[in-house]
Amino acid sequence: MTEDIGYIIPIGGAEEKVSDAAILRRFTEVAGGANARIAIIPTASRLKETAGRYTEIFEGFGVAEAFSLPYETRADCKRPDWLERLQTATAVFMTGGNQLRLSTLLGGTPVADLIRERNATDGLHVAGTSAGASFMAEHMIAYGNEGPTPRSDMVTLTPGLGLTHRAIIDQHFGQRNRLGRLMTALAYNPRPIGIGLDEDTAAFIDHERMLTVVGSGAITVVDPADLEFSSMDSAQRHAAVCLINMRIHILVAGCTYDMVSRQAGSGDLP
């Protein structure tokens, strides 16, 4: 049943953690509030204090348990005791850092399989910030250049965790001028939508694949469904790419986007 599908919550990075931690508080509510058991995966980060910082934050919100699963090798991803701990979680939170550490260490392991399976059938809610957000979709942006104009070789894609095939996700979007690389990624095969997350901004995607914006920035949704022409197949190396009839929405807190019908809504905005 669709009600057993967990939330997917990509966050654009640099989310507020102290004064008005709207995103992390909302994630805690979704995870179960006082009954939440949150597994923190700090694999993307090389900073030892990362897991402890988020553990402290979630415990401060009054969750039942927040614990770290610090996968450092692929062998760690087969540890029965850690898999049992992951099985008890109501939600997973993947930190920022380097998304290739997530894909190369977790990809194809029992950890990735269990997260994917439980999100799809057992109501496990999965959030990721920055690198953790990029890793969530079927196709992940591994590298890319800054700039507003799509170019033929502007981005490198690799397989991601595969929680959704409906989107390609990018983060630190407005702050790092990443529109061009997201549009380039979509131009390679214009099937999914692009979700560009500003810092301190999150997409809460529910079991019906309705996206709701939370946070202080904006989400840029790029929809190639009505794309009429692309020059990607003939563009020279480094050349700009022509894309005709690519639709773009800019959504702020409270706005919605139906990822199935591809319809945007203004929510409670006047």
Residues that are catalytic: 130, 172, 199
- The conformation of residue 198, written as its DSSP 8-state character, comes to P
Burial 111-143, CB ≥16 within 10 A → b, else e: bbebbeebbbeebbbbbbbbbbbbbbbbbbbbe
Query: Which residue carries 């949150």 as its tokens?
Result: 38
CA distance 74 to 25: 31
Q: Where on the phi/psi map is residue 267: left (φ > 0), alpha (ψ -120 to 50), or beta? A: left
Residue ranges of E strands in 65-209: 65-68, 91-94, 125-129, 139-144, 155-159, 167-170, 193-197, 201-205
Which two tokens mark 157? 């894609």
Under 8 Å between Cβ of 101 and 71: no
Buried b (16+ CB within 10 A) or exposed e, 47-78: eeebbeebbebbeebebebbbbbebeeeebbe
